């Protein structure tokens, strides 16, 4: 199954692109790269004001009652202008976990604030190089967390974190108020993502799920966030496709536009193929929310969008020649974002394994692929 | 979607009733002419059941349904190994040209209906030894010839190549050069010809996979009346382009007409690499995951295009990506599957089906990367038509054909 965007959904995309274009500022983005802890407040305010953080929340909690399709449309627009803190995905992930956990008190405390952008959420699953370790070193003892998480996106500003932990070797998904944790900023190659190491020392935390239920919920949340992020990656790749195309038309060498040389035009045509395949996978994944093949669909979206964005960043820079590698030219903003998004929420090898586990497990039966 | 879902179920149910008579099991060990006879009977069964010419006008023997109905039937039909390949070019390209463009409508109607019944087969004669990608560079001559009475006629001389199933064709559509003194695109005219007429010689060309479904065709002073002209004189190139657009949304296969990924997993499930299970090997897993991500994207493109058609919208140009992307993937996955079978992969089953057999798939893949538009031409089309990038440097542009250096 897939979808064709209806008029309301197209209007959401148009509105998002308009709002983002009004605040686009390359100098501000370049400056943010050189500051640790800098936070693109303008973007965050737009996201909050436009309701982008509340889209998938139930109306009872101040949300818009929409879903992944609409979240994806907005994320794609954000990716196109390299806008966005990780909160687009992480606030959605934390909110979804709280809903799934079914604790009314937690829902009352956090959901409305997360949706309004007054509270910021981080998702701290990874430890060292592992996205979702079998047994997390971070321990939950029934009431508190102890341990550390490295390079958590949005970790620098988050008020609350969803933490992948363990208790007696069994997985636990716990929600921790970060007032009780300490954090260290990471000076990263894409500082706008607000990466930080989080250290928990008897930090009060509530379990949302335990045992196999925790693992299943963690994978479902990863699939949701990966679907949103895949849209963002596709938006970035699509922007680079057209930047490369425009440059290939404008730039002349050897007496003709460089886009007339097959080595250049075929490279751009290949980008088109990667972008369209990623876009189709993203829309498909968003339409499979809650279905048995959702994890596989999210993996396909994630893999193809990551490939599209990384390849577009490489090739677009290459087509620009020397101008592609200058600081002021700013293409490295896309290059950096392509890589940070590729790592956050699990690298390609992590998702390849998920896809293969699903496929070998028999999900493929009946598929034409 | 309920209507179309019902149509899909109806198609599948009917196809299943045809399997005992026409499925793979019924045709094992048949020679190609014997298989073709099965194909003709299967095509007739489709006609009788209302599954031939699904989106064609009832006036031409069709069912009068939408292109979407046709696409859905084709998707279902492709699930089975049925003998329909002989009619692909005939009913997909050549006969629709006759239906849309042949001036004598009564004659056209009779030809279309007999072809729909599988009684006749048409071929499409475009490519030549000197050019396939550069279609407008073709050299077969059509010269005015007065011997056919008051209406005048044409004398055809030259050679065509890569013509699919011409050895079984009763008729063919032909693009030939009627005026070598004008620019190459402007001197072409479109005809139909009787493949059994004097002056036509058809010789099958054996391909790398061992099969011979394409042919070379020689025209030696073949005289045809002007009534066999389908386009205006000199306007054949536009008709040829229109031909290629007729089945714009034909059913595509994300597996590139090779084995599906489930087949790959089945092939390697019990195999090892250096003593370790192949399905636990990162290189194999990466290949599976990447192929799946690509193929599921192609599948989603088709699904979205079908939903748009259903909603009365025009699908985007991304539908053209399938052949370019899917066949490359099939080629590499087939190589990997053969690798993983080790020395057992050396066996060659000459009857192997490309949707099931890795060697057959691998041997046939290069043909598909060239037939109907080579990868490089598809990339040019994407770059120029979709992205608006410049055409390649073309030194023959605007030059009269007979002054282009050879």
Q: Show the tokens assigned to B279.
A: 């399905």
Residue B189 belongs to what H/E stretch?
A: strand B188-194
Contacts of B376 in chain A (CB under 8 A): 262, 266
CB within 8 Å: B390 and A260: yes
CB within 8 Å: B260 and A368: yes
State whether A161 and A66 are in the same domain: no
State whether A36 and A133 are in the same domain: no
How many structural domains comprise chain A?
Answer: 3
Distance between terminal CA atoms of chain B?
A: 56
Last residue of one domain, picked from the residues A210, A239, A269: A210
Q: Is residue A1 in a domain? A: no
Bridge partners (DSSP) listed for residue A184: A197
Average pLDDT over every residue of B169-194: 97
CB within 8 Å: B293 and A265: no
3-state class of A264 per DSSP?
Answer: helix
State whether A188 and A132 are in the same domain: yes
CATH code (residue A58): 1.10.540.10
State whether A278 and A238 are in the same domain: yes
CB within 8 Å: B391 and A260: yes
Distance CA B255, CA A233 (A): 25
Supply the pLDDT for residue B372. 85
State whether A192 and A71 are in the same domain: no
Contacts of A268 in chain B (CB under 8 A): 383, 387, 389
Q: Is residue A203 in a domain? A: yes
Which of B254, B285, B293 lies nearest to residue A368, judging by beta carbons? Answer: B254
Q: Is the pLDDT of residue B82 over 80?
A: yes
Q: How far is A11 from chain B (nearest CA, A)?
A: 18
The Cα-based distances of A309 to A31, A231, B289 in angstroms read 23, 10, 17
Residue environment code for B206-232, b if the CB has 16+ CB neighbours within 10 A, otherwise e: eeebebebbbbbebeebebebebbbbe
Confidence of residue B1 (pLDDT cuts 50, 70, 90): very low
Distance CA A5, CA A2 (A): 10
Last residue of one domain, picked from the residues A65, A99, A116: A116
State whether A363 and A246 are in the same domain: yes
Nearest-5° Cα angle at A30, A29 to A36: 85
Confidence of residue B2 (pLDDT cuts 50, 70, 90): low
Residues A176 and A203: beta-carbon distance below 8 Å: yes
Distance CA B384, CA B398 (A): 19
The Cα-based distances of A179 to A88, A157, A202, B195, B396 in angstroms read 22, 11, 12, 85, 73
Q: Is the pLDDT of residue B281 over 50?
A: yes
CA of A255: which chain B residue's CA is closest? B393
CA of B323: which chain A residue's CA is closest? A273
Contacts of A281 in chain B (CB under 8 A): 293, 296-297, 300
Supply the pLDDT for residue A365. 46
Q: Is residue A2 in a domain? A: no
**What percent of chain B shows pLDDT beyond 70?**
97
Q: Which of B230, B9, B223 is nearest to B105 (CA)?
A: B230
Q: How far is A358 from chain B (nearest CA, A)?
A: 10
Q: What is the bridge-based pairing of β-strands B188-194 and B171-177? A: antiparallel
Distance CA A69, CA A11 (A): 13
Residues B293 and A353: beta-carbon distance below 8 Å: no
Q: How far is B395 from chain A (nearest CA, A)?
A: 14
State whether A229 and A357 are in the same domain: yes
CB within 8 Å: A367 and B260: yes
Confidence of residue B383 (pLDDT cuts 50, 70, 90): very high
Q: Show the tokens assigned to B340.
A: 């993983």
Q: What are phi and psi of A184, to 5 degrees?
A: -125, 125
Residues A4 and A288: beta-carbon distance below 8 Å: no
Distance CA B32, CA B39 (A): 10
Kindly provide the ipTM of the predicted complex, given to two decimals. Answer: 0.94
Which of B262, B289, B307 lies nearest to residue A355, judging by beta carbons? Answer: B289
State whether A154 and A89 are in the same domain: no
Q: Show the tokens assigned to A110.
A: 């956090």
Q: Is residue A262 in a domain? A: yes
The residues, any chain, with a CB within 8 Å of residue B363's CB and separated by 6 or more, are B208, B209, B210
Contacts of A262 in chain B (CB under 8 A): 376, 379-380, 392
Start-end of H helices in B95-200: 95-101, 105-116
Task: Indicate which of B260, B293, B298, B380 best probes the interface with A, i.e. most A CBs within 10 Å of its own CB.
Answer: B293
Q: Show the tokens assigned to A29.
A: 């983005």
Q: How far is A369 from chain B (nearest CA, A)?
A: 5
Q: Which of A157, A17, A190, A184 is nearest to A87 (CA)?
A: A157
Q: Show the tokens assigned to B135.
A: 């279609």
Q: Which domain holds residue A93?
A: 7-116
Q: What is the bridge-based pairing of β-strands A121-124 and A160-167? A: parallel
CA of B281: which chain A residue's CA is closest? A353
The residues, any chain, with a CB within 8 Å of residue B296's CB and separated by 6 or more, are A281, A284, A297, A300, A367, A369, B254
Residues A191 and A32: beta-carbon distance below 8 Å: yes
DSSP letters for B215-273: EEEEEEEEEEEGGGB-S-TTBHHHHHHHHHHHTTT----TTTTS--HHHHHHHHTT-EE
State whether A188 and A275 are in the same domain: no
State whether A169 and A301 are in the same domain: no
Q: Which of A17, A117, A89, A156 is nearest to A302 (CA)?
A: A89
Q: Is A119 left (phi over 0), alpha (psi -120 to 50) or beta?
A: beta
CB within 8 Å: B383 and A266: yes
Average pLDDT over every residue of B230-259: 85
Supply the pLDDT for residue A23. 87
CB within 8 Å: B255 and A367: no
Supply the pLDDT for residue B315. 86
Task: Indicate which of A6, A356, A365 best probes the interface with B, i.e. most B CBs within 10 Å of its own CB.
Answer: A356
Q: Is the pLDDT of residue B113 over 90?
A: yes
State whether A355 and A262 are in the same domain: yes
pLDDT in tens, chain A (369 residues): 568 999 999 999 999 999 999 888 899 899 989 998 777 778 888 999 999 999 999 999 999 999 999 999 999 999 999 987 789 999 999 999 999 999 999 999 999 999 999 999 999 999 999 999 999 999 999 999 999 999 999 999 999 999 999 999 999 999 999 999 999 999 999 988 999 999 999 999 999 999 999 999 999 999 999 999 999 999 999 999 999 999 999 999 999 999 999 999 999 999 999 999 999 999 999 999 999 999 999 999 999 999 999 999 999 999 999 999 999 999 999 999 999 999 999 999 999 999 999 999 854 544 556
3-state class of A138 per DSSP?
Answer: coil
State whether A359 and A233 are in the same domain: yes
CATH code (residue A310): 1.20.140.10
Q: What is the bridge-based pairing of β-strands B171-177 and B122-125? A: parallel
Distance CA A160, CA A141 (A): 18
Distance CA A4, CA A168 (A): 47
Last residue of one domain, picked from the residues A189, A210, A231: A210
Strands (E), B296-352: none
CB within 8 Å: B303 and A278: no
CB within 8 Å: A4 and B382: no
Q: Provide the CB-side half-sphere exposure for A265 (13 A, CA).
A: 26
CB within 8 Å: A245 and B388: yes
Q: Does the CA dihedral B40-B46-B51-B54 come out positive or negative? A: positive
Residues found in chain A: 369
CATH code (residue A141): 2.40.110.10
How confident is the model over B323-347, as pLDDT tens digits? 999 999 999 999 999 999 999 999 9
């Amino acid at each position: 199954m897939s979808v064709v965007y209806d008029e309301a959904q197209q209007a959401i995309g148009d509105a998002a692109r308009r709002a983002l274009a009004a605040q686009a500022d390359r100098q501000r983005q370049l400056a943010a790269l050189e500051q640790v802890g800098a936070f693109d407040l303008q973007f965050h305010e737009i996201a909050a004001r436009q309701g982008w953080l509340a889209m998938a929340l139930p109306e009872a909690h101040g949300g818009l009652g929409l879903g992944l399709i609409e979240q994806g449309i907005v994320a794609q627009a954000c990716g196109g202008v390299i806008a966005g803190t990780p909160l687009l995905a992480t606030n959605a992930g934390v909110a979804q976990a709280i809903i799934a956990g079914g604790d009314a008190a937690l829902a009352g405390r956090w959901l409305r604030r997360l949706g309004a952008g007054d509270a910021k959420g981080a998702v701290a699953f990874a430890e060292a190089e592992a996205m979702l370790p079998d047994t997390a070193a971070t321990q939950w003892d029934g009431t508190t967390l102890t341990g550390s998480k490295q390079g958590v996106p949005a970790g620098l500003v988050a008020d609350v974190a969803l933490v992948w932990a363990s208790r007696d070797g069994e997985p636990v998904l716990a929600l921790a108020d970060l007032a009780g944790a300490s954090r260290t900023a990471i000076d990263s190659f894409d500082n706008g993502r607000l990466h930080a190491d989080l250290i928990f020392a008897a930090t009060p935390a509530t379990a949302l799920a335990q045992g196999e239920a925790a693992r299943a919920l963690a994978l479902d949340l990863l699939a949701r966030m990966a679907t949103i992020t895949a849209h963002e990656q596709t938006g970035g790749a699509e922007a680079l496709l057209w930047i490369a195309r425009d440059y290939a038309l404008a730039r002349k060498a050897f007496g003709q536009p460089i886009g007339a040389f097959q080595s250049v035009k075929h490279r751009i045509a290949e980008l088109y193929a990667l972008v369209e395949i990623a876009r189709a996978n993203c829309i498909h994944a968003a339409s499979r929310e809650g279905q048995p093949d959702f994890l596989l669909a999210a993996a396909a979206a994630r893999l193809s969008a990551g490939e599209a964005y990384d390849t577009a960043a490489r090739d677009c820079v290459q087509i620009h020649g020397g101008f592609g590698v200058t600081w002021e030219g700013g293409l490295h903003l896309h290059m950096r974002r392509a890589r940070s998004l590729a790592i956050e929420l699990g690298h390609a090898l992590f998702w390849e394994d998920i896809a293969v586990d699903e496929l070998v497990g028999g999900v493929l039966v009946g598929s034409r692929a | 979607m309920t209507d179309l879902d019902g149509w899909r179920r109806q198609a599948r149910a009917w196809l299943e009733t045809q399997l005992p008579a026409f499925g793979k099991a019924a045709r094992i060990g048949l020679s190609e002419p014997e298989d073709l006879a099965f194909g003709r009977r299967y095509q007739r069964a489709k006609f009788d059941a209302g599954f031939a010419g699904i989106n064609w006008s009832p006036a031409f023997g069709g069912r009068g349904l939408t292109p979407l109905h046709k696409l859905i039937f084709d998707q279902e039909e492709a699930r089975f190994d049925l003998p329909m390949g002989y009619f692909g070019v005939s009913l997909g390209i050549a006969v629709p040209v006759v239906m849309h463009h042949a001036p004598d409508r009564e004659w056209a109607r009779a030809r279309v209906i007999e072809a729909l019944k599988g009684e006749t087969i048409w071929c499409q004669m475009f490519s030549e030894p000197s050019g396939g990608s550069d279609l407008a560079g073709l050299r077969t001559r059509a010269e005015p010839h007065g011997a056919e009475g008051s209406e005048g006629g044409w004398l055809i001389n030259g050679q065509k190549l890569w013509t699919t199933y011409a050895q079984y064709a009763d008729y063919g559509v032909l693009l030939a050069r009627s005026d070598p003194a004008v620019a190459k695109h402007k001197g072409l005219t479109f005809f139909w010809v009787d493949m059994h007429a004097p002056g036509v010689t058809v010789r099958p060309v054996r391909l790398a996979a061992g099969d011979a479904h394409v042919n070379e065709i020689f025209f030696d002073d073949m005289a045809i009346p002007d009534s066999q002209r389908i386009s205006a004189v000199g306007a054949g190139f536009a008709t040829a382009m229109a031909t290629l657009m007729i089945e714009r949304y034909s059913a595509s296969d994300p597996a590139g007409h090779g084995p599906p990924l489930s087949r790959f997993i089945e092939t390697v499930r019990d195999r090892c690499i250096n003593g370790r299970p192949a399905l636990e090997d990162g290189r194999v897993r990466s290949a599976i995951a990447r192929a799946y991500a690509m193929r599921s994207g192609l599948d989603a493109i088709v699904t979205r295009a079908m939903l748009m058609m259903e909603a009365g919208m025009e699908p985007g140009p991304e539908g053209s990506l399938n052949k370019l992307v899917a066949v490359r993937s099939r080629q590499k996955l087939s190589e990997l599957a053969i690798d993983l079978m080790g020395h057992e992969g050396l066996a060659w089953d000459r009857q192997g089906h490309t949707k099931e057999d890795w060697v057959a798939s691998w041997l046939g893949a290069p043909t598909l990367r060239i037939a109907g538009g080579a990868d490089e031409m598809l990339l040019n089309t994407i770059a120029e038509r979709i992205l608006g990038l410049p055409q390649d440097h073309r030194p023959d542009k605007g030059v009269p054909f007979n002054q282009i250096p050879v």
